[in-house]
């Protein structure tokens, strides 16, 4: 049996050494065929690296499409891929065929709305692929008597190749190596010092001639801490308890390092995790929320406790620990226990009467539907529509585009960005372009080496998909509104004249480029960090990191029933003001 080893890890003075290597995965599409037409609708930058920007086809009219050959098809063993964007309504089935052989190349049963398709064409004969000149589309309506829409955009056939490329981040070298950032034509200008390679979301790290995962982790933490872009660190010592060369030892070590990171930086963009660790499931049947006078019971998920604990009661102590001076994160951590664990709560009711309730934790608890966060669009009344956005991604953009006609017909739109942790910067710009048709300054980047600021300018929206500034816009935020969702709130407030930001608190103040860094010799170990960005994101020359964006209308929560899962006073305020 191996002895326990106790290691105190100290940040070294090494900024970067030659035995440290970084790489990223580059996805290329070797385009064999693409399509072209004179019909162009709203340009949606794809998450893929399209070599050719195709245009749009209305499949209700264009049943056959000419394929333009980019270059000869090699007779290799790789399967070609079909990639396109689809917008459909009232379509039961869509099939793509080779006209010469009537062979079905692809078929789908699409849901209404926008969808991005990327699929391998397994076993497609290379001779057929080399000779194909056109493709036929066949559609079946769900309801033959209703109008249907079926539009195809950016269709290409090609070979997808993924390769690992070595690249030392410019944030470490201080150089400006690499290619200019590709925004798919969305940005009019982008800082010259920030390269495409600086924006690769996933990096791989290895130490040359090293097989120790512990040493790799130590070196990577040293680099990240030396390059941490903000001055928020607390004086916290890092002591990790490990058991060498065992999975449990590594899991224990990483858990200790992650705890250190959270305590020192308290940054949602900085953490370390390891897949494969057997984590003991901790849960709680009681949730709390901090009001002005202290912590209150905000939810009771365990039905057996509903006659013992009551919504809105004060929580004074958890397992004997007084919680009034603790952070919300720490207080909620005390509530979490493994199955069969026991919690003891000291409660105080409205009359000032104090009592203690003890209960045993269950394996898990069902989350009520009114607590679940999801992207959805709904109509509040004849004049107001509501859009909840969980994440800034293509689904969020697509739900905007799908519901534009109804949004344009209303007097007020409520956009709910509460608990939205951000997402894709390009998608954020696309959403903003619906409200800001002219070119606009999205944000600035400050080069951490030269101190120079350069603007990110979004191109003018030339489409018809523009929302009139006569619309009243209400944007809902909270302390978990972060990153790109903060960019949306800030720019809508700045450029769209009828915008009011509403909330009970300022936003997270966590606006940075996020990287995932994996150990090359163990991809299960994953860092999340903002330390490899060459630049700091600025809004009109100022950083909001740790400060956030303050609401125009501050909503005072006086009782638990005012919160979002219940009466939702913030939403009521948005509807009425």
Counting residues of the chain whose pLDDT is more than 70, the rounded percentage is 89
Q: Which is nearest to 490 in space by CA: 421, 423, 548, 533?
A: 548
Query: What CATH class is the domain 369-576?
Result: alpha beta
Tens digit of pLDDT for each residue in 45-60? Answer: 444 433 345 567 889 8
Q: Which residues contact 368 (CB under 8 A, 6 or more apart)?
A: 299, 301, 565
Instruction: Give the per-residue pLDDT at 555.
Output: 96
Instruction: Give the per-residue pLDDT at 322.
Output: 95
**What's the average model confidence in pLDDT over 184-191?**
90
Exposed/middle/buried for residue 449 (C-beta within 10 Å: 0-12, 13-18, 19+): middle
Rounded CA-CA distance 82/568 in Å is: 45
Query: Alpha-carbon dihedral of residues 110, 115, 118, 123, nearest 10 degrees?
Result: 10
Question: What letter would DSSP give residue 576?
Answer: H
Q: Regarding predicted confidence, which is higher, 50 or 409? A: 409
Give the domain 28-162 fold: Jelly Rolls (2.60.120)
Counting residues of the chain whose pLDDT is more than 90, the rounded percentage is 51
Tens digit of pLDDT for each residue in 411-448? Answer: 999 999 999 999 999 999 999 999 999 999 999 999 98
Q: How confident is the model at residue 74 (pLDDT cuts 50, 70, 90)?
A: low
86 touches 112 (CB < 8 A): no
**What's the average model confidence in pLDDT over 209-221?**
87
Instruction: Give the per-residue pLDDT at 42.
Output: 45
Instruction: Give the per-residue pLDDT at 101.
Output: 85
Instruction: Give the per-residue pLDDT at 241.
Output: 57
Residue with tokens 């199955």: 339
Rg of the Cα atoms in the chain: 27
Instruction: Give the per-residue pLDDT at 10.
Output: 33
Q: Which is nearest to 315 in space by CA: 335, 296, 333, 338?
A: 296
Question: What letter would DSSP give residue 330?
Answer: H
Flag whether pLDDT at 161 surpasses 60. yes
Tens digit of pLDDT for each residue in 228-239? Answer: 887 766 676 666
Tens digit of pLDDT for each residue in 240-279? Answer: 555 567 888 888 888 888 888 888 888 888 899 998 887 6
Flag whether pLDDT at 496 surpasses 60. yes
Mean pLDDT, all residues of the chain: 86
Instruction: Give the per-residue pLDDT at 13.
Output: 35
Q: What is the full DSSP assignment across 119-140?
A: EE-TT--HHHHHH--EEEEEEE
Tens digit of pLDDT for each residue in 79-137? Answer: 788 888 888 999 999 999 988 888 888 999 998 888 888 888 875 666 677 778 899 99
Instruction: Give the per-residue pLDDT at 124.
Output: 66
**What's the average model confidence in pLDDT over 181-201?**
90
Q: How confident is the model at residue 368 (pLDDT cuts 50, 70, 90)?
A: confident
CATH classification number, 286-360, choose in 3.40.47.10, 2.60.40.10, 2.30.30.100, 2.30.42.10 = 2.30.42.10
**Tokens of residue 326, six digits:** 């603790």
Q: How far apart are the first and last CA of the chain?
A: 68
Residues, the chain: 577
Domain-wise residue ranges, the chain: 28-162, 286-360, 369-576
**What's the average model confidence in pLDDT over 490-506?**
97
Q: How confident is the model at residue 479 (pLDDT cuts 50, 70, 90)?
A: very high
Alpha carbon of 401 to those of 109, 155, 434: distances in Å? 21, 20, 9
Contacts 24+ apart (CB under 8 A), 448-451: 448/171, 448/229, 448/534, 448/535, 448/536, 449/174, 449/193, 449/534, 450/193
What b-and-e string marks burial along 523-550, b requiring 16 or more CB atoms within 10 Å of the CB? ebbbbbbbbbbbbbbbbeeebbbeebbe
Flag whether pLDDT at 2 surpasses 60. no
**What's the average model confidence in pLDDT over 343-360?**
93
316 touches 348 (CB < 8 A): yes
């Amino acid at each position: 049996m191996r002895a326990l080893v106790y290691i105190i890890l100290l940040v070294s003075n090494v900024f970067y050494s030659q035995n440290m290597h970084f790489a990223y995965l580059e996805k290329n599409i070797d385009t064999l065929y693409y399509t072209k037409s004179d019909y162009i609708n709203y340009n949606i930058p794809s998450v893929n690296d399209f070599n050719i920007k195709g245009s749009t086809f209305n499949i209700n009219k264009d049943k056959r499409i000419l394929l333009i050959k980019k270059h000869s098809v090699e007779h290799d063993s790789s399967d070609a891929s079909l990639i396109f964007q689809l917008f459909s309504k009232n379509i039961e089935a869509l099939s793509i065929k080779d006209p010469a052989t009537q062979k079905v190349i692809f078929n789908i049963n699409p849901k209404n709305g926008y969808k991005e398709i990327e699929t391998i064409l397994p076993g497609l004969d290379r001779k057929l692929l080399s000779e194909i000149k056109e493709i036929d589309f066949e559609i079946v309506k769900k309801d033959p008597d209703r109008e249907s829409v079926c539009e195809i955009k950016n269709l290409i056939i090609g070979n997808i190749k993924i390769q690992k490329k070595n690249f030392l981040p410019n944030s470490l070298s201080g150089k400006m190596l690499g290619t200019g950032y590709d925004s798919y034509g969305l940005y009019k200008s982008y800082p010259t010092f920030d390269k495409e390679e600086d924006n690769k979301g996933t990096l791989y790290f290895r130490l040359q001639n090293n097989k120790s995962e512990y040493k790799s982790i130590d070196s990577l933490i040293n680099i990240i801490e030396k390059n941490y872009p903000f001055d928020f660190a607390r004086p916290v010592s890092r002591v990790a308890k490990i058991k060498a060369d065992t999975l449990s030892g590594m899991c224990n070590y990483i858990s200790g390092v992650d705890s250190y990171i959270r305590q020192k930086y308290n940054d949602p963009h900085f953490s370390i995790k390891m897949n494969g660790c057997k984590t003991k499931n901790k849960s709680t049947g009681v949730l709390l929320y901090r009001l002005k006078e202290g912590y209150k019971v905000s939810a009771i998920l365990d039905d057996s406790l509903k006659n013992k604990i009551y919504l809105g009661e004060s929580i004074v102590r958890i397992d004997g620990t007084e919680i009034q001076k603790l952070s919300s994160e720490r207080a909620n951590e005390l509530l979490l226990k493994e199955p069969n664990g026991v919690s003891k709560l000291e409660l105080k009711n409205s009359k000032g009467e104090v009592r203690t309730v003890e209960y045993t934790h269950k394996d898990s608890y069902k989350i009520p539907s009114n607590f679940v966060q999801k992207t959805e669009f709904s109509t509040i009344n004849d004049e107001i529509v509501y859009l909840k956005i969980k994440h800034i991604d293509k689904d969020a953009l697509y739900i905007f585009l799908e519901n534009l006609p109804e949004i344009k017909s209303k007097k007020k739109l409520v956009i709910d960005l509460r608990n939205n942790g951000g997402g894709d910067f390009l998608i954020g710009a696309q959403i903003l372009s619906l409200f800001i048709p002219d070119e606009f300054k999205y944000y600035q980047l400050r080069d951490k080496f030269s101190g120079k600021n350069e603007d990110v300018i979004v191109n003018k929206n030339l489409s018809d998909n523009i929302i009139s500034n006569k619309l009243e816009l209400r944007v809902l935020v909270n302390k978990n509104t972060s990153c790109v969702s903060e960019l949306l709130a800030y720019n809508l407030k700045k450029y769209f004249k009828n915008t009011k930001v509403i909330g009970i608190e300022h936003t997270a103040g966590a606006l940075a480029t996020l990287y995932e860094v994996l150990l090359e010799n163990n991809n299960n170990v994953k860092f999340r960090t903002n330390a490899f960005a060459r630049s700091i994101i600025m809004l009109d020359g100022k950083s909001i990191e740790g400060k956030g964006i303050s609401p125009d209308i501050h909503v005072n929560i006086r009782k638990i029933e005012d919160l979002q899962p219940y009466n939702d006073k913030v939403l009521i305020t948005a509807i009425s003001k």
